[in-house]
Amino acid sequence: MYLDWRVIWIKCSFIVCSLFQYFVVVFPFDGPLPSFTNTPQHVIVSKGAVAILRCGVENLGTKTVSWRKLPYNVPITVGKSQFLEIDRFKLVRVLHLEEWNLSIKNAQIFDSGTYECQVSLKSEKIRRNITLTVLESTTVQITPSIHLSGTQIVEKGSPIRLTCNATGDDSPPQSIDWFKDGSRLQTSYANQIYIHQHVSITDHAIASTLDIDKARMSDMGLYVCRASRNLATRMQVDVLNAETNNKRRETPGGLPSGYSSASCSAILTSSLISIVSTLLLCWLHQYHMFSFDLMSMYNIKTEAV
C-alpha cells in the first residue's frame, strides 16, 4: 500500500517529540548542581555587635536558599522571604559574590549556636553549618578613629600602597572612600589602580588599601581616605622623576653653586703665589748656572797666565 511521504513525516515528528518529552520528564537536566563557596564557618562577635553569617552558593539557578538555627525546624528565611518575625535578623544579599548572608543585629549570648544554610534540590538537600559565638562585651569603650599610612615619596615607575584603618564606636564604618586632589578614586584596571577592603566585626574596624602598580608623575598629589563625614584623614604623596639628567646649577655670575667671591679670591691668590714661586726658582737656577760658568772661565784664564 502506498503511503504519502507527508503522512510519514508527521508520524515521525510525533514520535520524536514524544520521546523528547519523555526524556525531559524522566531525566531532567538543570545544569550544574549548586555548591557552596569557601566562606567562614566560625564567627565570633561581642555582645551587642552585628554578626554576619556568610553563605555563598554557586550555580544556584532557580533554587532557593534558606536559613535556620539548629535544632529548630522553623526557618528564619526562605529565599527573599523572612519567616522569623524578629527585626534583628535580616537577609543580606551580595550579588557579585553570590552570597545569601544572615545578619544579626545587637547579637546576644542566646544567639550563639549552629546555623544552617540550606539549598533544596529535587532529590536531596545540601547544607552548610556556621557556628556563631557571642562573647560578653568588654567595658573598654572604643573611640572612633582613622589612620592613614603608606608610601609618601616614591620614584616614577615604582609601586604606591596606602593603607587606611578606621574604627567605629559600636560597629565598623560601612566603607572607606578614597580621593586624590578632591576627585574620588575607584578601582581601574586600565590605570592599574586597585582598592581592597576588609571588615573586622569584633574590632569594630575596617581597613582599606589603595595600590598603584607603577607610579606616574600624575599620581603625585594629596590623598584622602574618608570613612564618614567627620572621620577622614589625608597624606601627601610625592613622585620623583629619577630619569631626569641632573645638571650642575650655576650662579648668575657664572660661578658654580657653592663658590663665593671670597673663596675665588683665595684660590686666585694661591695660584699667583705658586706661579711667582716657580718663576723665582727658575731664575735662581739660571743665576746659579751663570755664576758657575763665570767661575770656570776665570779659573781657566788664571791657569793660562
Other CB atoms within 10 A of residue 68 CB? 21
Nearest CA to 92 among 56, 62, 68?
A: 56
Residue 254: half-sphere exposure toward Cβ, Cα within 13 Å: 0
Domain 35-135 and domain 145-240, same fold? Reply is yes
Residue 259: half-sphere exposure toward Cβ, Cα within 13 Å: 16
As its CATH architecture, domain 145-240 has Sandwich (2.60)
Query: What share of the chain has pLDDT > 90, as a percent?
Result: 26
Evaluate if residue 275 carries a pLDDT over 80.
no
Nearest CA to 68 among 112, 103, 118, 124?
A: 118
Q: How confident is the model at residue 175 (pLDDT cuts 50, 70, 90)?
A: confident
Map grid coordinates 791657569 to a residue.
Answer: 303
Do strands 99-104 and 89-94 pair parallel, antiparallel, or not at all (unpaired)?
Answer: antiparallel
Residues linked to residue 226 through DSSP beta bridges, in sequence order: 177, 232
CATH superfamily name and code, 35-135 = Immunoglobulins (2.60.40.10)
Element (H, E) at 78: strand 77-78
Cβ 82 vs Cβ 90: under 8 Å: yes
Other CB atoms within 10 A of residue 43 CB? 21
pLDDT by residue (tens digit) across 237-258?
A: 999 987 765 544 444 444 444 4
For 113-127, 174-188, 246-260, which range has the lowest pLDDT when averaged over its residues? 246-260
Evaluate if residue 21 carries a pLDDT over 90.
no
Evaluate if residue 296 carries a pLDDT over 90.
no
The pLDDT of residue 271 is 64
The pLDDT of residue 280 is 64
Domain ranges for the chain, please list them. Answer: 35-135, 145-240
Specify the pTM. 0.40
Residues linked to residue 77 through DSSP beta bridges, in sequence order: 67, 82
Three-class DSSP category at 278: helix
Round to whole Å and give the CA distance between 84 and 72. Answer: 12
pLDDT by residue (tens digit) across 69-98?
A: 988 888 888 888 888 778 889 988 888 878
Three-class DSSP category at 123: coil
Q: Which three cell numbers stand for residue 298?
A: 776665570
Determine if residue 79 is left, alpha or beta; phi over 0 gives left, psi from -120 to 50 gives alpha, anything else beta: left
